[in-house]
A = this chain, B = another copy of it.
């Protein structure tokens, strides 16, 4: 039951529940349910007896019994004299009154204490556990991570390039286009990556995507089958979790330390991954750079075990403490690495454009598969982006943004040093667009973020980056790229006063 250990994290279980403001019974219920619907606890897996689990988690036995019962009522668990096991996945039950057709493999149907149940059940089981309704305006609030300086983007120049791209394009640009991307853009990306990141790849290895999340899903489908294992960083990028789960993979969270992702040696043999997702330049969200020694170990082990490394080179463009390490992709010849990048941070998010670089050995075959899988368009914007890169506007913009972001980061750190009431550790300053501020134990990050949002601030809780929401972390992920330096002091003072009112 190592999966159960990962899902529940017994050493941190009580602290986590407290941090999230949940009773232990509720925290257990939610963690198990997430584990089941996300496929980390598989059908047929046995759960320990209530007495044993209660002891392990330091909670009362009744709480375990009630959590099990609730999950059984909902069809997630099957309880019998032989013990408690994860239920087989059946088809989801349809809307009210139309349930008869779809109850095979379920014990007790899906009625529950929760009045919403019958409606929720109309969606598929795999939809469960996913929920986010966020006003797009929230993306623009101070401290929202992952948002570049939108006002600093040279939009007039971009508009000129778009108009030029339109003028130079025939009606072919209105039609379906090569699903791998426009040739000009693939070439511009390959040339840029070689110079800036030491990535060795021809244009035919570069595939244009809608962004990193779509690229990851594409990778997972191209390179892995349903039920294969993918290692992900913990804490890590939520979009990666979503993409890999969508592609039907089983996720194995791997803890991150000061040198980056750190899988226990034995896992390579015991929990052999098909894919390993990692953010080596600036681990998201904690910030460490994956050391050279770790990179070499990863490559060697990946070769030995026939797995692929997915190098998400997020934030490599914004290095604040000197030249960055070159990409893993180019560090070793023919490394089993897929390299991912996005223009969401370096140009603007609404462009929905990123890319993946596949090893030469599979690129041609992948092009045929991608050609059959997904139509593509947006030729005008892709050609404009190619000009933006090829004519040097892109590197000029990056240079300006690096300087701007560094100034904003310094302002944020100074404001925290002066106006934050606790001696908080600040992580991840060497690169990127955000910092992580650790919080004192009595100040749960979820609660703080919720209260801060009422004041128009949008830092994100570090616990939200834990796999399945179970973290053992407590901190704020604070974006600074889209927040002017001169506003940092008043904003941090507002945040501090919100925090004081909660602590």
Q: Are B365 and A120 in contact (CB under 8 A)?
A: yes
A375 to B352, CA, bound (A): 8
**Which residues of chain B come closer than 8 Å to A309, judged between CB atoms?**
none
Q: Are B174 and A349 in contact (CB under 8 A)?
A: yes
Q: Are A306 and B136 in contact (CB under 8 A)?
A: no
Nearest-neighbor residue (CB-CB) of A128 within chain B: B369
Q: Are A368 and B221 in contact (CB under 8 A)?
A: no
Q: Are B92 and A225 in contact (CB under 8 A)?
A: yes
| A14 to B: closest C-beta gap in Å | 27
Contact residues on A (Cβ < 8 Å of other chain), bracket: 35 or more
A177 within 8 A of B: yes
| Known contacts A92-B224, A94-B307, A177-B136: A362-B242 contact under CB 8 Å | no
Q: Are A122 and B361 in contact (CB under 8 A)?
A: yes
Q: Are A175 and B228 in contact (CB under 8 A)?
A: no
C-beta contact mask, A298-312 vs B, less than 8 Å → 1, else 0?
000001111110000
A457 within 8 A of B: no
Which residues from 102 to 136 on chain A have a C-beta closer than 8 Å to any C-beta of chain B?
Answer: 102, 119-120, 122-127, 130-134, 136
Q: Are A101 and B372 in contact (CB under 8 A)?
A: no
A134 to B179, CA, bound (A): 9
Most chain B CB within 10 A, of A102, A175, A348, A369, is at A175
**Which residues of chain B come closer than 8 Å to A394, judged between CB atoms?**
none
A178 within 8 A of B: yes
| A92 to B: closest C-beta gap in Å | 6
A270 within 8 A of B: no
Q: Are A350 and B362 in contact (CB under 8 A)?
A: no
Nearest-neighbor residue (CB-CB) of A347 within chain B: B174
A414 within 8 A of B: no
A265 within 8 A of B: no
**Which residues of chain B come closer than 8 Å to A344, judged between CB atoms?**
176
**Which residues of chain B come closer than 8 Å to A132, judged between CB atoms?**
368, 371-372
Which residue of the partner chain, among B102, B159, B210, B246, contacts A306 with CB atoms under 8 Å?
A: B102
Nearest-neighbor residue (CB-CB) of A303 within chain B: B98
A366 within 8 A of B: yes
Q: Are B133 and A176 in contact (CB under 8 A)?
A: no
Q: Are B378 and A352 in contact (CB under 8 A)?
A: yes
A380 within 8 A of B: yes
Which residues from 136 to 163 on chain A have a C-beta closer than 8 Å to any C-beta of chain B?
Answer: 136-137, 139-140, 147, 150-151, 153, 155, 159
A397 within 8 A of B: no
Q: Are A93 and B350 in contact (CB under 8 A)?
A: no
| A313 to B: closest C-beta gap in Å | 18
| A378 to B: closest C-beta gap in Å | 6
| A337 to B: closest C-beta gap in Å | 12
Which of A79-87, A165-173, A400-408, A426-434 lies at the interface with chain B?
A165-173
Q: Are A379 and B350 in contact (CB under 8 A)?
A: yes
* Copy total for this chain: 2
Which residues from 414 to 451 on chain A have a C-beta closer than 8 Å to any C-beta of chain B?
Answer: none
**Which residues of chain B come closer than 8 Å to A374, judged between CB atoms?**
213-214
Q: Are B373 and A246 in contact (CB under 8 A)?
A: yes
Q: Are A221 and B369 in contact (CB under 8 A)?
A: no
**Which residues of chain B come closer than 8 Å to A125, judged between CB atoms?**
225
| Known contacts A98-B303, A126-B221, A362-B122: A171-B159 contact under CB 8 Å | no
Q: Are A226 and B89 in contact (CB under 8 A)?
A: yes
**Which residues of chain B come closer than 8 Å to A153, judged between CB atoms?**
171, 174
| A39 to B: closest C-beta gap in Å | 10
A127 to B373, CA, bound (A): 9
| Known contacts A95-B362, A98-B303: A350-B175 contact under CB 8 Å | yes
Which residue of the partner chain, among B94, B175, B307, B349, contacts A101 with CB atoms under 8 Å?
A: B307
A100 within 8 A of B: yes
Which residues from 381 to 417 on chain A have a C-beta closer than 8 Å to any C-beta of chain B?
Answer: none
A351 within 8 A of B: yes
Q: Are A376 and B362 in contact (CB under 8 A)?
A: no
A222 within 8 A of B: yes
Q: Are B172 and A362 in contact (CB under 8 A)?
A: no
A93 to B308, CA, bound (A): 11
A258 within 8 A of B: no
A186 within 8 A of B: no
A420 to B176, CA, bound (A): 30
Sample of 14 further A-B pairs with CB below 8 A, known A122-B223, A125-B225, A140-B175? A92-B274, A93-B306, A101-B305, A123-B222, A124-B221, A126-B225, A131-B371, A132-B372, A134-B371, A150-B174, A176-B350, A214-B374, A349-B375, A352-B376
A-B contact pairs, 8 of them (CB 8 A): A89-B225, A130-B368, A139-B176, A140-B172, A155-B174, A174-B348, A350-B379, A351-B377
